[in-house]
Structure 1
């Protein structure tokens, strides 16, 4: 329904009418894209009134911006924490890898050193077992090999005599196995050893025996004590080198010992 104003004297438009017109003009300008100017200051004042209604929107925008900044900061902090944790994990993994590598190297070095020591010990033992010594320490030959005398049934000395007081330690000259230990007639208490080189050594006139048949001996091992048992004129050690365990297979004992680097 349309309302018409009465004819005649026109009344001034009231405030509501003016505001409606102003809004309508503004809407029209917005619709057409044409920007106009307000002719009357009153209209400009009236048009400025809606700015009060926009305060809530401005506050909403400010709060939204602040929240976005907070979210961005939180995301950046979380990203930084994740990067820090990743870097720490990588550093820890590298440290553990280096430690494992160091342990492996140390174990390998220790193994090499242990094996080297074991080889050295084996070599030393092999050398020791292949070493020969004099049957009496710090002594000398008092009667040489093949010396002539009626004291011996063969007419000559079948070994050499080492000067020694009764009870002096008698040593195996090298490694071997005892094949005789006991009374040997004219030799008195005697020991015969089959040496590892295939020859035999004999020790006579002992006051006591320290080994038995079947025993293995090593260089320098005490096998008995010197004496004057059997056919002897006084305490000493009678030493022979033989090709067999039997009497009569003697060879030069000095040459035998010297072939094994024993200085007599």
Structure 2
């Protein structure tokens, strides 16, 4: 019988393997009659393998097996290292993606909150500019609209008087543009403002004026100080609401202020 050697990686056949193959080859030739007389010798040669030859063959087979196992372990270790690297790289990229997404969301939240604050501020400013208030804070009407008497050339009061001691702050009741600022005859030092809604307001008997023609004013902005200039019996603020800047176009100032949300 011929001896077959276990396959090993990257190893050429050993001397013993070649010797066994040669013996097997000689034995095979007997079947073709080429050297039939050698058959007994070949068979004997095969049968006469010494214990030393057998041990050597077993050692070669064992060596090949150990080499194969070692190669497989090295390949397995390399594959495991590659897998670990690829896993770590994937986790790193996933973490970077999570951080980028968290940063994007945080920035979007900050942007949204800033836009909401700006929108709220704009809305608050819009409301403020469209709001109205008393011309003298905390004051009250001391003389009503169209009150009769010899004090007025027309025979009746064309506005209302707000109680105010001399030097009290007088403010614009709403947003508008100053169209008159100076002496107004019987009104003394007076200011006329064209309001943003197209109406006009007048402030008379001032002790001083703090604005000039063409100047824009906002609700609550101080425009002068109360006094008793012109045709006046004592310190107060004369306030009128008009449909035009001219005398005689007056309307009820209390109704005008209440119509714009002011409690009078």
Calculate the TM-score normalised by the size of structure 2. Answer: 0.79
Q: How does 1:121-160 map to 2 (within 5 A)?
A: 121-160=121-160
List per-residue Cα deviations over 1:64-110 (Å, max 9, x = no partner).
22121111001001111111111112222222222222222223333
Q: Structure 1 stretches (4+) deviating beyond 4 angstroms?
A: 27-32
Structure 2 equivalent of residue 108 of structure 1: 108
- State the secondary structure of the residue aligned to 1:137: coil
Q: Deviations along 1:214-256, whole A, 9 cap, x unmatched? A: 1111111111110111111111000000111111111110110
CA 55–254 in structure 1, closer or farther in 2 if over 3 Å, else same: same
1:117 correspondence with 2:117? yes
Please give the TM-score of this superposition, normalised by the length of structure 1: 0.79
Partner secondary structure for residue 241 of structure 1: strand
- Listed one character per residue, the Cα deviations across residues 180-227 of structure 1 (whole Å, up to 9, x for unaligned) are 111111111111000011000000111111111111111111111101
CA distance, structure 2, for counterparts of residue 134 and residue 126 of structure 1: 19
CA-CA distance at 1:50 after TM superposition:
2.0
Partner of 2:83: 83
Change (3 A) 1:58 1:186: same
Unpaired runs of 5+ residues, structure 1, are 1-23, 33-43
Look up the match of 1:187.
Answer: 187
Structure-2 change in CA distance of 1:49 and 1:246 (3 Å): closer
SS where residue 211 of structure 1 aligns?
A: coil
Inter-partner Cα distance in structure 1 for 2:178 and 2:248? 19
Residue of structure 2 equivalent to 1:199:
199
**Aligned residue pairs, count:** 226
- Root mean square deviation of aligned Cα: 2.2
Corresponding position of 1:234: 234
In 2, the alpha carbon distance for the partners of 1:181 and 1:250 equals 18
Distance change in 2, residues 1:210/1:29 (3 Å): closer
Q: 2:34 aligns to what? A: none
Deviations 1:30-53 (CA, angstroms, capped at 9, x unpaired): 967xxxxxxxxxxx9xx6672224
Match of residue 176 from structure 1: 176
Q: State how far apart, in whole Å, the 2-side matches of 1:81 and 1:214 are.
A: 82
- Relative to 1, partners in 2 of residues 1:125 and 1:49: Cα closer, same or farther, differing over 3 Å? closer
Q: How far apart are the structure 1 equivalents of 2:128 and 2:224? A: 21
SS in 2 for 1:102: helix
Alignment partner, residue 52 of structure 2: 52
Equivalent position SS for 2:174: coil
User: Quick one: distance in 2 between partners of 1:107 and 1:53?
Assistant: 80
Q: d(CA) in 1 for partners of 2:27 and 2:153? A: 159
